[in-house]
């Protein structure tokens, strides 16, 4: 039997499996490409969101108006949801805690500093746990 005949026989014997394979491979490839694209879009969206939050935390919406304390507190809390940025978030929050130690009225300042402390504790506990189990 020639190589052509043996190849033809093998193709005929495995036609069903080859047919399934011809259908499954492009579908699997399309799913993989779609998921890769979505993952990249999510990563870009999270990057933009994180940087907007940092901007809202440290910059005034209007230079003529004071910082909005409750917004800053909410932003500090929300930063806990960005685990991929935990190392830099810790550095930012610790730096802001030092910088804002004597900034603004004490009653308002203490609320913000307390939220910063809580977020630092939260992030440190998560990064320690990740370092131990990672």
**Sequential pLDDT tens for the chain (134 residues):** 688 888 888 878 888 888 888 888 899 999 999 999 999 999 999 999 999 999 999 998 888 887 788 999 999 999 999 999 999 999 999 999 999 888 777 777 899 999 999 999 999 999 886 565 55
C-alpha to C-alpha distance for 69 and 116, rounded to whole angstroms: 12
Q: In the structure, how many helices (H) and strands (E) does the chain have?
A: 5, 0
Strand (E) or helix (H) holding 4? helix 3-13
The domain segmentation of the chain, as residue ranges, is: 3-133
């Amino acid at each position: 039997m020639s190589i052509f005949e043996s190849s033809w026989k093998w193709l005929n014997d495995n036609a069903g499996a080859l047919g399934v394979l011809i259908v499954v491979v492009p579908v699997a490839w399309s799913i993989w490409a779609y998921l890769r694209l979505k993952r990249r879009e999510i990563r870009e969206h999270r990057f933009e969101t994180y940087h907007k939050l940092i901007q809202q935390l440290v910059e005034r919406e209007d230079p003529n108006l004071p910082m909005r304390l409750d917004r800053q507190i909410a932003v500090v809390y929300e930063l806990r949801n960005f685990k991929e940025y935990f190392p830099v978030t810790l550095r930012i929050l610790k730096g802001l805690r030092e910088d804002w130690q004597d900034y603004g009225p004490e009653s308002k300042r203490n609320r913000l500093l307390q939220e910063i402390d809580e977020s630092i504790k939260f992030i440190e506990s998560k990064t320690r746990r990740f370092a131990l189990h990672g």
